[in-house]
Amino acid sequence: MKILATNFLVLLKEIGRGNRYYFAWVALLALLICAGAAAYMQQLSEGMIVTAIRDQVSWGFYISNFTFLVGVAAAAVLLVVPAYIYNFKPIKEIVLFGELMAIAAITMCIMFVVIDMGRIDRLWHVLPFIGRMNFPSSLLAWDIIVLNGYLFINLTISFYALYKMANSKEYNLNIIKPLIILSIPWAVSIHTVTAFLYNGLSARPFWNASILAPRFLASAFCSGPALMLIVFQIIRKVSKIEIENRAIFKIAELMAYAMGINLFLLAAEFFKEFYSDSVHLAPMEYLYFGLHGKDNLVPWMWSAMAFNITAFFIFLRPQTRENLFTLNIGCVLIIIGIYIEKGMGLVIPGFIPGTLGEIYQYSPTVIEKIITVGVWATGALIYTFLLKLAIPVTTGELRFARKEEPLRAS
């Protein structure tokens, strides 16, 4: 018991230390979280009327962010596969940081779904056994299971490895290898199930296309890694962790393939809708050209397309993807491009035109935006703290106290 308390203090102490940049960053995040929490309090007391969500467009910015972040979480698998299936050592050394990002991303996903609920006090109704979870009929029930399962798997893998390292022990790969292997199909499943959430609704032709799940996966394997590559470069800059360029370039190469597939699938969708020119074309028309003069997403969608295509060529050419400057440009383009495409660009056109033909142009309110930023800040803070602990553990600077030994944290 005592040893536990001592080690907890070791961790707390580590989080409470850092240079002024670290504190400025944490303070900024804390500020944003407070703003988000205050805005959410307002939404709780006044109702969803403070958002731009209406009967016509019944899901908005929160569910858009949720969808994007499921992709980010699923992307950890892009590191796991080369690391553990192909034993590519440079990536193996950084898998942990990818898994920690998945933890932060899943946490944000769960937060986004929860803040989108009209009755948070009834959250327990969805729990299996305690509430009345509609499994297997409701895809939302599936999503609850796979998302929490993925969170559990990643927590177990990364915390086990860190715990062993913190106790100066070699961790036994045989114990967690099955979990690591399991995490691969599981990562695919979280994104597939999230796609099926939309995909299964025959009332919404834009979502009711079998290409949806494959496209989700392809775009996830661009956006998640793009975020990771940027974080990895920050990690190696601010810590003693060495992340080889080789690892970064390998991931970039995989991203090029994923983006290629994503663009191909988009082209397939374009062809099918525009060539057959049926009533189901309307949402696509709304997205890219405007419908009945309503066109507030058009500039966003074309920007997303330009960003994604540019990024594709940056990552395709070895010269540009192996140049950190152009690589980072590509990463930023992908993050923005996919954020538009798999966020608002996916959720909103499902509702436009509405089932009774109405076109309600949704655009999030300030309160929705503040709450959303608050959730992102929470995720960033979680990831910051996880890294703050994981980095010194991996480099050997942070070790747990053994039985009666005094503290050894440097």
In the chain, the N- to C-terminal Cα span, in Å, equals 23
Q: Which of 174, 210, 355, 410 binds other proteins (CB under 8 A)?
A: 355
Q: Which of residues 227-266 bind other proteins (CB under 8 A)?
A: none
- Of the candidates 179, 194, 255, the residue with the CA atom closest to the CA atom of residue 224: 255
- Asked if 136 touches other proteins (CB under 8 A), the answer is no
- Asked if 131 touches other proteins (CB under 8 A), the answer is yes
Of the pair 110, 182, the CB lying nearest other proteins is at: 110
Q: Which of residues 50-69 bind other proteins (CB under 8 A)?
A: 53-56, 58-59
Whether the Cβ atoms of residue 341 and residue 304 lie closer than 8 Å to each other: yes
Tokens of 310: 């540019």
CA distances from 247 to 83, 118, 173, 224 (A): 10, 44, 21, 15
Dist CA 349 CA 188 (whole Å): 24
How many angstroms from the chain centroid is the CA of residue 203?
27
Q: Which of residues 390-409 bind other proteins (CB under 8 A)?
A: none
Q: Which positions ≥6 away from 174 have C-beta within 8 Å?
A: none
Q: How far is the CB of 331 from other proteins (least distance, A)?
A: 32
Q: Which of 77, 126, 235, 327 binds other proteins (CB under 8 A)?
A: 126
- Asked if 37 touches other proteins (CB under 8 A), the answer is no
- Asked if 349 touches other proteins (CB under 8 A), the answer is no
Of the pair 77, 190, the CB lying nearest other proteins is at: 190
- Asked if 294 touches other proteins (CB under 8 A), the answer is no
Of the pair 105, 144, the CB lying nearest other proteins is at: 144
Dist CA 247 CA 327 (whole Å): 13
Tokens of 314: 């940056």
Strand partners, 294: 291
Q: How far is the CB of 295 from other proteins (least distance, A)?
A: 15
Dist CA 188 CA 223 (whole Å): 15
- Asked if 365 touches other proteins (CB under 8 A), the answer is no
Q: Which of residues 198-227 bind other proteins (CB under 8 A)?
A: 198, 200-204
Of the pair 85, 117, the CB lying nearest other proteins is at: 117
Number of neighbours of residue 23 by Cβ within 10 angstroms: 12
Q: Which of residues 5-34 bind other proteins (CB under 8 A)?
A: none
- Using CB under 8 A, list all residues that contact other proteins: 46-49, 53-56, 58-59, 113, 116-119, 121-123, 125-126, 129-134, 137-141, 144, 197-198, 200-204, 279, 282, 350-351, 353-358
